[in-house]
Amino acid sequence: MTRRTILLFLLSLLLIIPPKPAAAQTPTPGSGPIYIVQEGDTLWSIALRFNITVDELIAANPDINPNLLSVGQELVIPGLEGIQGILRTETIALGDTFRGLMRRTQADVDILQRLNHLVSPTELYVGASFIIPERENATPLTPRGVLAPGESLLELAVRAESDPWALTRFNDLEGTWAAIPGDVLYAPASENEGENTVGTLPPVFASAEVGPLPLKQGGTAEIRVRLAQPATLSGLLVDKPLHFFPLQGDTYVALQGVHAMLEPGPYPMRLEATLEDGSTQAFEQMVLVVSGNYPKDPPLIVDPETIDPSVTEPEEELIRSLVEAATPTRWWEDIFASPASLYPEQNCFTSRYGNRRSYNGGPYDRFHTGLDFCGGEGLPITAPAPGIVVFAGPLTVRGNATIIDHGWGVYSGFWHQSEIRVQVGEQVETGQVIGLVGGTGRVTGAHLHWEIWVNGVQVDPMDWLEEKFPHD
Ligand SMILES: [Zn+2]
């Protein structure tokens, strides 16, 4: 080959290979881990999640259009030296432990702590969003069992259809002696994974879930437990004792309202099963409650008598006592119907649930406990679901009021009526006319106020018009 041909060859190579761009067009491996944009993400929320500024995020991704973030787009996350690959987010479920999460994802403990700004491993709240580095070629692991006190790894291995050496290897144990009671142990999922996959919960719980996550102010939490053996269930969410009812087979459900004014943050949730021999198995974890982002209503001016505690408190107390019991019959089956089903316009509301309220110049320390429908005097009010009438009569603040017990701790309240068309003890059906709209009690005009109580807490009735409880 002559010098000339070599030169030509080199020149032709230059023509084939495109010049390297001055700035990287797409995130390149090696410049930092990559986050894939999810539904609902903004630059601000992503920056906040990774504890960086929006400017730092833009500097690391010079080609992005900050106003046009699309789902699935890849963003380089700066400031995370030593971490590579794809970062994904996962919502912490009931039963997730830090050690368990570490084992399942096979991520390094310090990386998980850095990514999630954890100070302590106990900060794993159910419903919180957790960042996990995705490891390529990692064997997917599933929880195989919780080591019971006095149980050996060999015994657990037999129970979990695994072997103690595999458990030692996949769980980074120094030896078969190094597992401690309460440890959730992981192994690769077997081909014939059956229904009875051992979870991260005590053995009496075949499964346990709480949702929808994250729990929200004013929302209705559904706690669903499947038992591995006969037991009596009890529990606690925030400060409310849970009431479990059989759904089907060995599955039990408790519904619990989350208070509209509850300060967002982590709250305790406890599940306890009392076995037939009298022994108990319990499980406790913190669950995250997020804001309902309820707006402030304009200040309201009302008759001072209707906000006088000597008038309001006995009435509150009466209502509370009426909606306290969780009766075992579930009268309803379907999604709730609108109590305005016979209105000319049934999807019109003058005030939504949760709005912060101030009366006669007082502080915004109250909230709207139900849903106010458009439409006035004389319109027919229909039962949103079957149930038994537990109250029908006049009250100072609520005016002519009716309360229906739907069972399982769920109650409907209808205030300010001009006329009540049902009696205490009467069984009502969905769509039945139970009264007429009026302007009695603390009102500025005739309207229907409808509220729903779930285990002693008023919740957003809109959820009950849009979703079926318990969920299918
Ligand atoms: Zn209202």
- For 160-163, the CB contacts below 8 A with 24+ separation are 160/185, 160/187, 160/198, 161/190, 162/187, 162/190
- The pLDDT assigned to 329 comes to 96
Task: Tell me the CATH number at 69.
Answer: 3.10.350.10
Tell me: do 324 and 411 sit in the same domain: yes
- The pLDDT assigned to 17 comes to 44
Number of residues written out for the chain = 472
DSSP one-letter string for 23-81: S-SS--TTSS-EEE--TT--HHHHHHHTT--HHHHHHH-TT--TT---TT-EEE--S-T
Tell me: do 67 and 209 sit in the same domain: no
Tell me: do 345 and 231 sit in the same domain: no
How far is ligand 1, taken at its centre, from the CA of residue 368, in Å? 6
How far is C-alpha 203 from the geometric centre of its chain's CA atoms?
24
Most confident of 1-5, 189-193, 456-460: 456-460
How far is ligand 1, taken at its centre, from the CA of residue 333, in Å? 26
Tell me: do 110 and 253 sit in the same domain: no
Residue 168 · residue 152 · CB < 8 Å: no
Q: Which domain holds residue 56?
A: 34-134
How far is ligand 1, taken at its centre, from the CA of residue 97, in Å? 42
How far is ligand 1, taken at its centre, from the CA of residue 354, in Å? 10
Tell me: do 59 and 179 sit in the same domain: no
Please indicate, yes or no, if residue 436 is contained in any of the structural domains.
yes
pLDDT band at 146 (very low <50, low <70, confident <90, very high): confident
- The pLDDT assigned to 402 comes to 98
Tell me: do 246 and 375 sit in the same domain: no
Cis peptide preceding 298, ω within 30 of 0: no
d(CA 369, CA 325): 19
pLDDT digits (tens, 9 = 90+) for 309-327: 998 999 999 999 999 999 9
Stretch 427-432: mean pLDDT, rounded? Answer: 98
pLDDT band at 24 (very low <50, low <70, confident <90, very high): very low
Does residue 30 register a pLDDT over 70?
Answer: no
How far is ligand 1, taken at its centre, from the CA of residue 416, in Å? 9
Domain boundary among 242, 263, 290: 290
Tell me: do 281 and 313 sit in the same domain: no
Tell me: do 269 and 365 sit in the same domain: no
Please indicate, yes or no, if residue 15 is contained in any of the structural domains.
no
How far is ligand 1, taken at its centre, from the CA of residue 301, in Å? 14
* Sequence letter at residue 385: A
Residue 130 · residue 98 · CB < 8 Å: no
pLDDT band at 113 (very low <50, low <70, confident <90, very high): confident
Residue 220 · residue 133 · CB < 8 Å: no
How far is ligand 1, taken at its centre, from the CA of residue 200, in Å? 44
How far is ligand 1, taken at its centre, from the CA of residue 401, in Å? 12
pLDDT band at 4 (very low <50, low <70, confident <90, very high): low
Helix (H, G, I), strand (E, B) or coil at 244: coil
pLDDT band at 423 (very low <50, low <70, confident <90, very high): very high
How far is ligand 1, taken at its centre, from the CA of residue 372, in Å? 5
Please indicate, yes or no, if residue 175 is contained in any of the structural domains.
yes
Task: Tell me the CATH number at 151.
Answer: 3.10.350
Tell me: do 404 and 329 sit in the same domain: yes
pLDDT digits (tens, 9 = 90+) for 162-206: 767 777 777 777 776 777 777 777 776 554 443 333 346 888 998
Please indicate, yes or no, if residue 157 is contained in any of the structural domains.
yes
Domain count, the chain: 4
H or E segment to which residue 253 belongs: strand 251-257
Please indicate, yes or no, if residue 9 is contained in any of the structural domains.
no
Tell me: do 448 and 312 sit in the same domain: yes
pLDDT digits (tens, 9 = 90+) for 246-259: 999 999 999 999 99
Task: Tell me the CATH number at 331.
Answer: 2.70.70.10
End-to-end CA distance of the chain: 76
d(CA 367, CA 94): 30
pTM: 0.75
Helix (H, G, I), strand (E, B) or coil at 9: helix
Please indicate, yes or no, if residue 296 is contained in any of the structural domains.
no
Please indicate, yes or no, if residue 126 is contained in any of the structural domains.
yes
Tell me: do 255 and 347 sit in the same domain: no
Please indicate, yes or no, if residue 258 is contained in any of the structural domains.
yes
How far is ligand 1, taken at its centre, from the CA of residue 415, in Å? 8
Tell me: do 317 and 387 sit in the same domain: yes
Stretch 377-381: mean pLDDT, rounded? Answer: 96
DSSP state of 231: E
d(CA 30, CA 23): 15
